[in-house]
Structure 1
Amino acid sequence: MPPRPGCDPSPPAAGPPGPAREPAAPAIPRHRFAPPSDPAALGRAWCEHLAPIFQVRLDGAPPRTPPVAMTTYHLGEIIVGEVASPAQRLERSTRMIARQGLDHVLVSFHESGGSRVDTGRRRVAVEGRQGVVLDLSQPVVIDADPGSAATLLIPRRLVSDEVGLVETLHGQVFAYDADPAKQLLHAYLRGLLACGPRLEPHHLPGVSHAASKLCGACFPADAGARAPVDGATHVAIRRFIQSELTSLTLGTEAITQRFGLSRATLYRLFEEEGGVINYIRDRRLMLAMRLLTEAGGARRRVAQVAYAAGFADEKTFSRAFKRRFGLLPREARADTPPRPPGPEKASVLMGWIRSLAA
């Protein structure tokens, strides 16, 4: 068939090739462990990659080739990840906790391999197809076998109202295939990892909200810990304490008067933390630690931080801080380099974690 008038049947001449287009960056921040070109450096690179969360010591010969992998997604107010790791010892010491100022919860679903977890209060074994909850404001030592896991890092404030006593969950082991709610949380986490590259920023508030609600379904507060007040009152007490941390009048009397409780009842509610006064002091110390380690913390005097966290004087504050974290407040300031020096200050992962308001 002859060509129609005005149509050129020949293909257009090929012009010089243009510059290759870079693939579009994902809408959601993604961070991957990048193995070094030198296999002998793999172990050190892996330890540095995990340094924002754990001090790492590799057991046996350092890994020389993958499988060693970690991919994480920053989903607004939560961070999700999947990891394939070698045999290793992971530790969060009181000194590390003080220097970082993190107040988050880590839920890890072991999909293969196992570990031994020592929180100081409990020693537990975690097997494949089991999970463990870690309160990152408390010390822990983990001896882990080679294996893989899916993880959820979430600020305490997103889950404390849902699960009640977050502190008592530290080191709790669960079999997620045996519990429908925990199985659902694992499936949700796996779905987030699969959909991470395709999520959009407007999805993230709902994603974070759903994660906190699922945590509440998985780890409801122990009914015995709540008695004899109902769950709503129990949550309200904890909210009241958090909102009044800077007040010098916050104490047993203020709480019992506001909520109409006896001192004995109030103590039972916080028995796991050594009583309500001990709980208040710990929350104040965590607030002070965040003030010292956040950006601009170096410009605050120790006395200013003490008063801002609800302590009556600098001496009492410094003594309590040293007992809790093993170092003085001035040693935990944002301008004080960590000892031993590490890469966490410039770490992408640490920047993400700090962006999750605790």
Structure 2
Amino acid sequence: MTTADIEHQILLSSGLDRTANFEHWRNGVASLFEATPANGDLDGFSADLASYNLGHFLIGASSATAQNFNRSPELVAATGVDHLLIQLYVKGECAYDADGGIGKGVAGDIVCFDLSRPMRSRTTDMDIISLILPRAMIRLMPRTIDDLHGARLDGATPLGVLLGEHMHSMAKVAPRLAGPDGSLAAEVASVLVSSALSAAIAAENGTLMDSNLQAIQVFIERNLTNPALSTDMILRQFAMSRSVVYRLFEPIGGIANYIRERRLLLAKLKLASVGTGRGSVARLAYATGFPSEDAFSRAFQQYYGIRPSEAIRNAESGIQLKRRMEFAEENWMQPWLDKLRATA
């Protein structure tokens, strides 16, 4: 396979004036962040980027001058994706606020951001390698994954060195990864990321999941929008007894509650995608696997404390932002994020 066989985007600052370089860069990362130069103007600005879409994951290497990055609640609603962004700082450092979690990463460190949540950061001049994986590929308990937003892995630890070197290698061979190779690379990356980040936040709390529970949770994630998804469907799929499945899910609130919670989180991500006209609540209910609008509305209000119709209206600014993003010819990132899928 060659680079020509793999969807990719290359941005080179050479040959571009600073304004053009910044506009290409800003539009390219618009689905991840609103980017602004740290000093407030384009004096000395430069940014280079090589990014690859491997279908199961995205990986890119970039080099840029100091900037501010902001992922606002409106941008989260507009993009509507449920992926993790893992960034290795090869050079430079960042100070960040991950939805209230304050942290700092220095050269060699690996920082994780949950793209379903707001964040902001300020960086120095930097060289970074970025990896984006669907949440369903992370082999950790869901509540542990929720704690990954803003998690920092010390680059000097053994797992930090291992994951950092692997990200270097993946970025290097990305132009030749396609088909089965890309799928295998995604599986390896998910294992390393899961192990390394669990060590970074709470290794002593048993964050690695039972293999049966992991398999069922992956199956649930891939069938959330299927109204037929149920305990009985899972029993048939995995040839397990009801008591075994109930015992597996008991520590995390039970299987029915788990499915409902994952569907409600998906609904929150899709608020900006259903429009604000008549029938928007029903469209959101059926798009997230609920059997009826009434069942969805009751569950949504109980979980979030707000009616779904109200939440949809509040997402209007995100809808407007998404429309503007769709008109930006150089926003190639959004289609990549929308189509990103977990390995089979």
Aligned residue identity for 2:182: L
Instruction: Normalising by structure 2, report the TM-score.
Output: 0.74
Structure 2 contact 37–45 (Cα < 8 Å) conserved: no
How far the C-alpha of 1:200 sits from its partner, in A, is 4.4
Q: Partners of 1:248 and 1:354 in 2: how far apart?
A: 22
TM-fit CA distance, 1:59: 1.9
Q: Give the alignment partner of residue 160 of structure 2, picking from 182, 197, 210.
A: 182
Aligned match of 1:144 in 120, 123, 138? 123
1:355 alignment partner in structure 2: 339
Are the structure 2 counterparts of residues 56 and 240 from structure 1 closer, same or farther at C-alpha, using a change threshold of 3 Å? same
The 1:331/1:345 distance shift into structure 2, 3 A limit, reads farther
Aligned residues: 322
Contact 2:36 2:67 (C-alpha < 8 Å) held by counterparts: yes
Any stretches of 5+ residues in structure 1 without a counterpart? Answer: 1-23, 251-255, 270-275
Q: Which of residues 323, 337, 346 is equivalent to 2:320?
A: 337
Identity %: 22
For the aligned residues, what is the CA RMSD? 4.4
Give the match for residue 193 of structure 2.
Answer: 215
- Is contact 2:47–2:65 with CA below 8 Å preserved after alignment? yes
Q: Check 1:308–1:325 CA distance in 2 against 1; reply closer, same or farther (3 A cut).
A: closer
Larger RCO (CA within 8 A; separation ≥ 6) = 2
Partner of 2:311: 328
- 1:201 maps to 179
Judging changes above 3 Å, is the alpha-carbon distance between structure 1 residues 224 and 194 closer, same or farther for their aligned structure 2 residues?
A: closer
1:6-45, Cα deviation, whole Å (9 max, x unpaired) = xxxxxxxxxxxxxxxxxx8622222122548442444344
Distance 1:122 1:136, change over 3 A: same
Bigger-Rg structure (1/2): 1
Amino acid at match of 1:354: D
Q: How far 1:133 moved relative to its partner?
A: 0.9
Contact 2:90 2:126 in 1 (8 A): yes
Tell me by how many angstroms 1:173 deviates: 0.8
What TM-score do the two structures reach when normalised by structure 1?
0.71
- CA–CA separation in structure 2 for the residues paired with 1:191 and 1:263: 37
Counterparts in 2 of 1:166 and 1:348: CA distance versus 1, 3 Å: same
1:90 Cα deviation from its structure 2 partner: 1.3
Does the 8 A contact of 1:86 with 1:146 survive in 2? yes
The 2-side partners of 1:80 and 1:137 are apart by 18
Q: Identify the range of structure 1 (287-296 vs 67-76) with the bigger mean alpha-carbon deviation.
A: 287-296
Contact 1:72 1:82 in 2 (8 A): yes
Corresponding residue SS for 1:149: strand
